[in-house]
Amino acid sequence: MIYQPSLITSSATWIAQQELSDEPRKKQLRVIHEEIPVQDIDPDLRDLGRHIARCAHKHVRVRVPAMCGSQWSHFLRSLETSRALS
């Protein structure tokens, strides 16, 4: 008895079905969000952005803590406003 992994078999079958179907492939769309105004950036994340920008200028390694999506966007916007990584 020859054992075939089901994951490889099912994905190969799915790919064959997709090639035979006439449906156009779905492309993933990028969602464009508005820019965050400077006055709305969280002060703690703005300070973290400045700290990292200074350390990057001095070529010092910095650990970036884990953040949720909204914090990450505030942090990246603070780096953009400080002209560090824009």
Structure pTM? 0.59
76, with CB counted inside 10 A (0-12, 13-18, 19+), is middle
> Is 42 contained in some domain?
yes
Q: What is the pLDDT of residue 26?
A: 79
Is residue 38 situated within a structural domain? yes
Tens digits of pLDDT across the chain (86 residues): 676 665 566 677 777 887 888 778 778 888 888 888 989 999 999 999 999 989 988 999 999 999 998 899 999 999 888 875 55
How is residue 67 written in tokens?
A: 């953040």
Is 1 contained in some domain? Answer: no
> Under DSSP, is residue 6 helix (H, G, I), strand (E, B) or coil?
helix
* pLDDT score at 61: 93
Number of domains composing the chain? 1
Residue 54 falls within a domain, yes or no? yes
Burial readout 33-67 (b: 16 or more C-beta within 10 A, e: otherwise):
eeebeeeebbeebbebbeebbeeeeeeeeeeeeee
Would 19 be classed as within a structural domain? yes
Q: Is residue 45 part of a domain?
A: yes
- What CA–CA distances, in Å, run from 26 to 2, 23, 32, 76, 78? 36, 9, 18, 29, 34
Which domain, by its residues, includes 69? 6-81
